[in-house]
Amino acid sequence: MLTGITTSGTPHLGNYVGAIRPAVAASRGEGVESFYFLADYHALIKVQEPARVQRSTLEIAATWLACGLDPDKVWFYRQSDVPEVQELTWLLTCVAGKGILNRAHAYKAAVDKNREAGEDDDAGITAGLFMYPVLMAADILIFNADKVPVGRDQIQHIEMARDFGQRFNHLYGEHFSLPEVVIEENVATLPGLDGRKMSKSYDNTIPLFVPREQLRKLIFSIVTDSSAPGEPKQTEGSALFQLYQAFAGAEETAAMRQAFADGIGWGDAKQALFERIDLEISPLREKYQALIADPARIELTLREGAVRLRETYAAPLLKRVREAVGLRDLS
């Protein structure tokens, strides 16, 4: 089981329900070997501010640990501490179809934006953005991950990783297992404050560990329709309801569905959502605050993880695939 988070900002509720919470729960299962990492090579595609990448790395690491990841039981590391990922990226680049990369959502969205603005298709688009899915395939294939828990926005990338792995296997022998995506259906795409997908790029996120009062304020700023208290409310398409569902159990969700039908006022619904989220987050928030106050300890944990991981898996795999494609054995 493997998943990563890009170190380009402060972790938000979407990262938590889409990746961190399911990944930490799964890592507690018997017989599962887990790999969780901070995707800082990926961050450079979007962020060219070194201090922000470093701060985000610290915040995301502290978040994983606060949410219950046990670094003695799972592999926990920073992507750029495992430089073998880069070498594998090149080997995969040489089998990856350019036509497939042309269809990647993030790249296509950037091209569409240029077209709308009347610019050249590729204006301002870096080769890094274009190659993003190959780097992500290397992350996954280097540890032969079978399951990748992610939010819906990442499905296409996992499919591409399968495709590149398959092509490599076809040409050079069975070196890679092909990963499967793991999606939690009711939280696959968590909406943000404005109802669109919660995303750093839309500036509509609820950061996971904001102080309690600020959490309440943000939740009260979620966009709703203009129906008055007493009027029945639609759960379909309601960001507020979807957020509630992502945190509440089946019974509480059913009760909220009924409250919507009975015309609960938006203020009351928001208060209930705030209380439900805060109940789950506040013990984690305390742990987070203690962890983030000791960056040296986090740094040590990450470095130790990467050293062992390189020796155990990354270097031996690179040795095998270098040989398979006809490069010299460096050992």
Please list the helix, strand and coil fractions of the chain in percent, rounded to the nearest 5, in that order: 60, 5, 35
| By CB under 6 A, residue 318 contacts ligand TYM | no
69 vs 58: CA distance, rounded Å: 15
268 φ/ψ angles, rounded to the nearest 5 degrees: -65, -40
Q: Annotation-wise, does 152 bind a ligand? A: yes
| By CB under 6 A, residue 22 contacts ligand TYM | no
Q: Which is nearer to ligand TYM, 14 or 305 (CB)?
A: 14
166 vs 173: CA distance, rounded Å: 10
Smallest separation, CB 295 to ligand TYM (Å): 21
Among 81, 139, 269, 317, binds ligand TYM (CB under 6 A): 139
| By CB under 6 A, residue 243 contacts ligand TYM | no
Among 1, 39, 95, 208, binds ligand TYM (CB under 6 A): 39
Number of H helices, E strands in the chain: 15, 5
Q: Which is nearer to ligand TYM, 33 or 153 (CB)?
A: 153
Q: Which range in 14-22, 121-129, 232-240, 266-274 contacts ligand TYM by CB under 6 A?
A: 14-22
| By CB under 6 A, residue 144 contacts ligand TYM | no
45 vs 127: CA distance, rounded Å: 9
The type of residue at 161 is A
Number of CB atoms found within 10 A of residue 67's CB: 19
| By CB under 6 A, residue 150 contacts ligand TYM | yes
Among 18, 165, 207, 305, binds ligand TYM (CB under 6 A): 18
Q: Which is nearer to ligand TYM, 147 or 265 (CB)?
A: 147
Tell me the sheet residues that pair with 207.
12
**Residue nearest ligand TYM (C-beta atom):** 18
Of residues 151-170, those binding ligand TYM (CB under 6 A): 151, 153-154
Contact 161, 168 (CB under 8 A): no
251 vs 185: CA distance, rounded Å: 17
Of residues 184-223, those binding ligand TYM (CB under 6 A): 189-190, 197-199
Q: Which range in 13-21, 69-77, 232-240, 297-305 contacts ligand TYM by CB under 6 A?
A: 13-21
Tell me the sheet residues that pair with 75.
35
Q: 71 burial class (0-12, 13-18, 19+ CB within 10 angstroms)?
A: middle
Q: Which is nearer to ligand TYM, 196 or 265 (CB)?
A: 196
| By CB under 6 A, residue 140 contacts ligand TYM | yes
Among candidate residues 197, 187, 182, 189, the one with its CA nearest the CA of residue 280: 187
3 Cβ contact list (under 8 Å, min separation 6):
19, 23, 35, 36, 37, 148, 149, 150
Among 6, 27, 34, 56, binds ligand TYM (CB under 6 A): 6
Q: What angle do CA 216, 219, 220 make, to 5 degrees?
A: 85
Smallest separation, CB 34 to ligand TYM (Å): 12
| By CB under 6 A, residue 301 contacts ligand TYM | no
Among 1, 5, 141, 259, binds ligand TYM (CB under 6 A): 5
282 vs 208: CA distance, rounded Å: 10
Annotated binding residues, written as ranges, equal 6-8, 14-15, 139, 151-153, 190, 197-201
Task: Give contact residues for ligand TYM (rule: CB under 6 A).
Answer: 2-6, 14-15, 17-19, 39, 42, 136, 139-140, 148, 150-151, 153-154, 189-190, 197-199
Annotated binding residues for ATP, written as ranges, equal 6-8, 14-15, 151-153, 190, 197-201
Annotated binding residues for L-tryptophan, written as ranges, equal 139
